[in-house]
Amino acid sequence: MMYAIGVDLGGTKTAAGVVSGAGEVLFSETIPTLNRGGGAAILDATAALVSGLISRAAAAGITVDRVGAGSAGVIDASRGVVVSATDAILGWAGTDLTAGLASRLGLPPSSVRAVNDVHAHALGEAWTGSAAGTASSLLVAFGTGVGGSFVLAGTPVLGHRHVGGHVGHVASPYAYHNGAALPCVCGHTGHVEAIASGPAILESFRRFGGPPQVRDTRAVFSLAHDGDAAAIKAIGAGAGAAGQAVGGLANILDPAVVVVSGGLADAGDLWWLPMERALRAELLAPLADVPVLRAALGNTAAIVGAGKLVLKPC
């Protein structure tokens, strides 16, 4: 059986694991991402993480000689280069991700591949998760940001400039307050991410009169469970925007299944039910019965998907 290291490189943490040709994560480790250290420091730390896992695998009699990475940022998958990235990881844009890892690990460049982390997440769910066995799947993740991926015949659709999947940066009629479009982290206004992400729900809560001392989205959900009106309204707006956006995408792409992921999808029915209502209200009639599923792999999805980049299934 073939094995690979799958890497999930995010803005706050980097996780990696040994992935089998059957899509199983045999063991994994996590380190903080050196998101203020620059590209070289992040590559050094990631290579050390991967090297440790290769050694651990060798001690168990497993040979690993290939690495797949799902990384934050816009990733040119053909060259393995970070085309652009937000300030969540300073100095990441322009980093030669695959060549940098390959040289540090002493591997041939052809044995290391990379895509955006949400594409890796979707690929994992399409391989062994909620969308396993389907010809196509649309995954949209709602958490700190909003991102998505359309997997067709086992391959994520990356787009001509590798920007495909930026679901959070389409217009939403929900992303307005008192007639003004809400600012988005991308520099534009009125986007889905400006109303439907976790931080956006916290900001909505404050706009709707919630006290400023509430400092995280989990607390907003706790207040909503206790009946707080501002919290309920903020979550409803975010969930409605999320569902409408996903339903619109389903109308465009006609996936076999829709998979919804991320911290908000895991927050329970308070978010899920209004999200799914808004999604289904948006669907064209032939799509009325499209399955809408919660992601199944949790924190291992991007590791599995990254491993799949360099593995052939058993």
Pair 213, 277 in one domain: yes
Please give the C-alpha separations between residue 102 and each of 12, 25, 44, 111, in angstroms, as whole numbers. Answer: 23, 22, 11, 8
Please give the C-alpha separations between residue 47 and each of 5, 44, 72, 90, 314, in angstroms, as whole numbers. Answer: 11, 5, 16, 18, 27
Residue 21 lies in a domain: yes
Residue 128 lies in a domain: no
Pair 146, 61 in one domain: no
Pair 16, 114 in one domain: yes
As a whole number of angstroms, the distance between CA 115 and CA 106 comes to 21
Residue 71 lies in a domain: yes
Pair 107, 147 in one domain: no
Pair 166, 50 in one domain: no
Tally of helices (H runs) and strands (E runs) in the chain: 9, 14
As a whole number of angstroms, the distance between CA 122 and CA 18 comes to 18
Pair 27, 118 in one domain: yes
Which residues, 6 or more positions from 133, have their beta carbon under 8 angstroms from its beta carbon? none
Joined tokens for residue 10: 């995010």
CB-based contact 14:53 (threshold 8 Å): no
Residue 270 lies in a domain: yes
Residues in a beta bridge with 81: 76, 96
Residue 13 lies in a domain: yes
Question: Which pLDDT score is estimated for 268?
Answer: 95
Pair 290, 304 in one domain: no
What's the alpha-carbon Rg for the chain, to the nearest Å?
20
As a whole number of angstroms, the distance between CA 23 and CA 210 comes to 44
Question: Which pLDDT score is estimated for 314?
Answer: 45
Joined tokens for residue 135: 């010809």
Q: At 310, give phi and psi (nearest 5°).
A: -120, 10
As a whole number of angstroms, the distance between CA 142 and CA 265 comes to 7
Segments forming the whole domain that contains residue 241: 133-295
Residues in a beta bridge with 99: none
Pair 92, 220 in one domain: no
Polymer length in residues for the chain: 314
Residues of the chain with pLDDT under 70: 313-314
Place of tokens 């009125």: 190
CB-based contact 55:68 (threshold 8 Å): no
CB-based contact 239:278 (threshold 8 Å): yes
pTM of the model: 0.94
DSSP letters along 99-151, please? HHHHHHHT--GGGEEEEEHHHHHHHHHHHHSTTTT-SEEEEEEESSSEEEEEE
Number of domains in the chain: 2
Residue 313 lies in a domain: no
As a whole number of angstroms, the distance between CA 74 and CA 117 comes to 9
Question: Which pLDDT score is estimated for 87?
Answer: 85
Question: Which pLDDT score is estimated for 266?
Answer: 94
CB-based contact 123:165 (threshold 8 Å): no
Pair 167, 75 in one domain: no
Pair 164, 185 in one domain: yes
Pair 82, 148 in one domain: no
The percent of residues above 90 in pLDDT, for the chain, comes to: 96
What CATH number has the domain bearing residue 99?
3.30.420.40
Pair 26, 139 in one domain: no
